[in-house]
């Protein structure tokens, strides 16, 4: 099961620039700031405008260059790499290389496909909302998994994981859909992580602590 209300965007254009998921929040924050400026004191008005600026930066969704190259797996989300390890992929019941990217509230929260491929399955699991920086978030938090199969027959599992503050995972694809690398397919509101499960023979191109950017940075390389 995948949940969501809007289709993904493909390539750099057309592109929302400010994520459509944030428009209601921006409208509310702007109205609050205008009302505070008209009726409240300088301090409250200033705080209201700071809230508006925070919401604006959170929902930014810039177009990104998409690297070309056979076998490369792109980073699916902005943030910091918090795991590079061999583990069990619970979705496909296989041993896998897991690379996890943690997104804080100052990162872009749009999620993008790491490879060209077909969506073979989607699974949504309710769960807790512990800090997404912790390893147990991968198995205990609310999460949504997307199984992608590349044209070369390699399986990739991308898992959107809710965080301490996040309360809404949005995924806009269903089984049978085709995604291209860098294509926008989902969004997570207010702090979270994305786990990517790769074949064991994939070569990581990132290390723990690296700061990465969705679509423009390479996460790993698949064997030919």
Q: Active-site positions?
A: 192
CB atoms within 10 A of CB 23: 12
Ramachandran bin of 165, using left for φ above 0, alpha for ψ from -120 to 50, beta for the remaining angles: alpha
Q: 3-class SS at 28? A: helix
Kindly list the distances between the CA atom of residue 64 and the CA atoms of 41, 120, 192, 215, 222, in Å, as whole numbers in the listed order.
40, 26, 21, 6, 22
Is the distance from CB of 92 to CB of 143 less than 8 angstroms?
A: no
């Amino acid at each position: 099961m995948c949940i969501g209300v809007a289709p993904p965007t493909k390539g750099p254009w057309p592109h929302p620039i400010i994520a459509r998921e944030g428009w209601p929040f921006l409208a509310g924050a702007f109205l609050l700031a205008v009302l505070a400026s008209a009726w409240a004191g300088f301090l409250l008005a200033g705080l209201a405008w700071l809230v508006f600026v925070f919401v604006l930066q959170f929902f930014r969704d810039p177009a990104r260059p998409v690297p070309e190259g056979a076998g490369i797996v792109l980073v699916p989300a902005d943030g910091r790499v918090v795991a590079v390890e061999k583990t069990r992929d619970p979705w496909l019941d296989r041993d896998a290389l897991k690379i996890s990217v943690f997104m804080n509230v100052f990162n872009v929260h749009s999620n993008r496909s790491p490879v060209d491929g077909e969506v073979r399955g989607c699974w949504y699991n309710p769960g807790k909302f512990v800090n997404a920086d912790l390893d147990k978030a991968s198995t205990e938090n609310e999460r949504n998994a997307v199984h992608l199969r590349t044209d070369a027959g390699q399986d990739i599992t991308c898992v959107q994981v809710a965080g301490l503050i996040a309360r809404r995972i949005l995924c806009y694809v269903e089984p049978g859909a085709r995604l291209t690398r860098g294509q926008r397919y989902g969004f997570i509101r207010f702090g979270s992580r994305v786990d990517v499960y790769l074949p064991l023979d994939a070569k990581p191109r990132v290390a723990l602590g690296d700061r990465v950017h969705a679509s423009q940075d390479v996460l790993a390389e698949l064997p030919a």
